[in-house]
Chains A and B, each alone.
Chain A
Amino acid sequence: DIQMTQSPSSLSASVGDRVTITCRTSQSISNFLNWYQQRPGKAPKLLIYGASSLQSGVPSRFTGSGSGTDFTLTISSLQPEDFATYHCQQSYSTPFTFGPGTKVDIK
């Protein structure tokens, strides 16, 4: 199975801050990496697919990058609605696996 790690596990930030979250995989997965946002009590929502493609309707302040084993999700200017937990997920092979999540809360 492909193991996923995320860092940091949590962070505190202010509105307007630039935030970067890292996801690493235990083996190369090319660009088969997706990012999801999950607000408290809600279902996950797709943000980024194929490592860097922005899902329709998602604000352009979200960008994804990386390939192989190292990936990054960047929020260029944090907005109040962005305080949530972010999950990365590999779709290279089953069993599909998720990172443990990064919780972004208000400083």
Chain B
Amino acid sequence: EVHLVESGGGWVQPGGSLRVSCVASGFSFSSDEMNWVRQAPGKGLEWVSKISGSGNTIYYTDSVKGRFSISRDNAKNSLYLQMDSLRAEDTAVYYCAREKYCGGDCYPAGSWFDPWGQGTLVTVSS
């Protein structure tokens, strides 16, 4: 069974740092792109970052560029999000999600998030 488990959330003061992790099982981790998506309390979903299977290609949403860093260790089937200079508005549940990609002759073309982990709560507050 394909499974993702996040950890590392907690409380941190504004300006502080935290690293959240995601351990994958049940699939060939190094073959798939991985993403972080967050959800502030009572709000919608916000995509944060993605990383290619090799780790060579990385994207971020503008609001975290220069503060967050995504990485992966394929030998450990693990995904990470290092969060520095944290702000109150970064308070959210952070989900990791595998991105399934279908391209070329594959139908339908595109990508989607499946599965998602259970999430880990990050609270930034003084």
Q: Which residue from chain B places its CB closest to the CB of A32 in the assembled complex?
A: B110
B105 in contact (CB, < 8 A)? no
- Chain B 82-114 near chain A by CB (<8 Å), digits 1 or 0: 000000000000010000101000011111111
| Interface of chain B residues 21 through 45 with chain A (CB within 8 A) | 35, 37, 44-45
Main secondary structure of the interface of A (DSSP, over half): loop
How far is it, in angstroms, between the C-alpha of A45 and the C-alpha of B59 when the chains are bound? 23
B72 in contact (CB, < 8 A)? no
How far is it, in angstroms, between the C-alpha of A92 and the C-alpha of B118 when the chains are bound? 25
A72 in contact (CB, < 8 A)? no
How far is it, in angstroms, between the C-alpha of A75 and the C-alpha of B113 when the chains are bound? 21
Interface centre among A42, A51, A94, A100 (most CB of B within 10 A): A94
Q: Which of B47, B108, B115 has a CB less than 8 Å from the CB of A49?
A: B108
How far is it, in angstroms, between the C-alpha of A73 and the C-alpha of B59 when the chains are bound? 29
Q: Report whether B110 and A91 are in contact in the complex, using a CB–CB cutoff of 8 Å.
A: yes
Interface magnitude class on chain A: 20 to 34
Q: Which residue from chain B places its CB closest to the CB of A44 in the assembled complex?
A: B116
A50 in contact (CB, < 8 A)? yes
Q: Which residue from chain B places its CB closest to the CB of A95 in the assembled complex?
A: B61
Q: Report whether A31 and B61 are in contact in the complex, using a CB–CB cutoff of 8 Å.
A: no
Interface of B with A (CB < 8 Å)?
A: 35, 37, 44-47, 50, 59, 61-62, 95, 100, 102, 107-119
Interface of A with B (CB < 8 Å)?
A: 30-32, 34, 36, 42-46, 49-53, 55, 87, 89, 91-92, 94-101
A-B contact pairs, 14 of them (CB 8 A): A32-B110, A32-B111, A34-B112, A36-B45, A43-B116, A46-B114, A49-B100, A49-B110, A50-B108, A94-B47, A95-B59, A95-B62, A98-B47, A101-B45
Contacts beyond the supplied A32-B109, A32-B110, A94-B50: 5 A-B pairs with Cβ under 8 Å: A46-B115, A49-B100, A87-B45, A95-B59, A101-B45
